[in-house]
A = this chain, B = another copy of it.
Amino acid sequence: MHELRKDILLGRWVAVMSESKAPSEYNLLSYKTQEERNCILCPGREYETPPEITSVRMPRSSKWWVRALPSLNPVFQIEGDLGRKGVGIYDKMNSIGANEILIESPEHTVRPEDLGIEQMIRVITLYRERIADLEKDSRFRYILIYKDSGVDAGEIFSHPLSFLMATPMIPKTVKDELDNAKQYFTYKERCIFCDIISEELRAGERVILETKNFVAFCPYAAQFPFESWIIPKRHCCAFNEITYEEIEDMGLILMSVLKKLRIIFRDPPFNYYIHTAPNMIPRRDHWHTLGEDFHWHLEIMPRLIRTSGFEWGSGFYILPTSPENAAKYLREVG
C-alpha cells in the first residue's frame, strides 16, 4: 500500500507511492537553455548593467570572478519606508527590499557543478557577504538566496547566477518552518534539525553523502521526488556564520549532489535555496543562547513533475519515488 508521511517540520502530509518510479520513467519537462548571444552578464559588457554592488576580481587584473548586481527588473525597491497601512479590511505596505543578481562565473555556459572548488568557494563566500551586508538594514526581515536552473524552473538568464531577495517580512514558508521548529524546541528542548540529522545518520537509508561538516539526504516526507537537503552538522541558525572550512566542504557536497542529479536526469530543471534565520534576531546573549531552535540548510528541488489542482488546492504532495529509493539512486551514481 502507498504510505502517508508527515513532514515533521511543516506538519504537511505527503503520499509516498509504494512502487517507486525509476528516474527513466519521469517524463522530463522540456529543458532548453535559452540562447543568449548577447548576454549582458558576460565580461566586456559591464557598462551595460546597473553599477555593480560588489565583485571579486582576479589579482592584478580588471577581470572579475564573481559579481553582485542590482536586479535589472526589481520587485523590491531599496529606498523608502515601509508605509504599512490598511485598505478596507486588508493590509498593504510599500515594496521595500533588495533584489540582487549574484553572477557565479564569467563563463556563460558553465554549470554550477562544474565551477571547480575554487570558484564555488567564491560563490558561497559572495552569498555570505551579501547577506551579512544587507542584514545591517533593519527594514529587512529576511534574506533569501536562491537559484533557478532551466527554463521550467523559472530560469530567465542562461548565464550562471543566483538571486538574492531581501524582504520586509518573513516569507510564509520560512515562517512555517521557524514556528514549527520553535514549537518542537519548546517541547523537546532540542533543535529539530539536529534531531533530523541524528535520525538520518542512524537510519542511513535516505543519506546521499556525508562529509566532515555536512550531510546530504532526501527528506523523509519530501515535497518533490529527488528533493535533496544539504545541512551542516554543527548547529548554527545563520548561514552567514559559516566558517571557511565549512564553505569549502559545502561547495564540494553541493557540486557532488548537483552532478549526481545531472547524471541521473540529464540536466533536469531545478531550484535550490538557503533557509537561514531571519534578521534582527539577537543570536547570543549572556543569559540564553538564542537561535537554538533553527538550523540553516540548503534545499534542492528538482522540477521533475507538474503540479496539478490537487497540490495547489490542498498543499498535499505525491512522491512517485520514495525518498529511500531516490537516495539510493543518488548514492550509487557518479
Residue positions of A touching B, CB distance < 8 A:
1-6, 8, 10-13, 15, 17, 30, 75-77, 80, 87-95, 142, 144, 146-148, 151-155, 163, 165, 167-169, 171-174, 176, 195-196, 199, 202-203, 220-221, 271-273, 275, 299, 301, 306-316, 318
Contacts and interface: CB of A to CB of B under 8 A. Distances in A.
Contacts of A309: 146-148, 153-154, 163, 271-273, 301
User: Which are the 3 A-B pairs with shortest beta-carbon distances?
Assistant: A154-B308, A273-B313, A271-B309
A172 B12 contact: yes
A176 B315 contact: yes
A77 B15 CA distance: 12
B314 A174 contact: yes
Given A8-B90, A80-B1, A174-B315, A169 B13 contact: yes
A168 B313 contact: no
B11 A308 contact: no
Given A1-B77, A15-B75, A171 B315 contact: yes
Given A90-B199, A144-B310, A176-B315, 8 more contacts: A6-B92, A13-B167, A88-B199, A146-B309, A155-B308, A171-B314, A271-B313, A272-B309
B90 A172 contact: no
Contacts of A146: 308-310, 313
A312 B273 contact: yes
6 contacts: A13-B167, A87-B220, A147-B309, A152-B306, A153-B306, A171-B316
A243 to B, nearest CB: 24
A91 to B, nearest CB: 4
A314 B12 contact: no
Given A10-B172, A314-B144, A316-B172, A308 B15 contact: no
A168 B1 CA distance: 15
Nearest to A79: B1
Given A172-B315, A273-B313, A90 B1 contact: no
Contact of A306 (B90, B154, B195, B273): B154
Contacts of A10: 172
A213 to B, nearest CB: 22
A236 B128 CA distance: 51
Contacts of A75: 2, 15, 17, 318
A2 B168 CA distance: 13
Contacts of A93: 3-4
Contact of A4 (B95, B301, B307): B95
Contacts of A313: 144, 146, 171, 173-174, 271, 273, 275, 299
A95 B168 contact: no
A203 to B, nearest CB: 6
B273 A3 contact: no
A95 B314 contact: no
Contacts of A169: 4, 13
A221 to B, nearest CB: 7
A220 B309 CA distance: 21
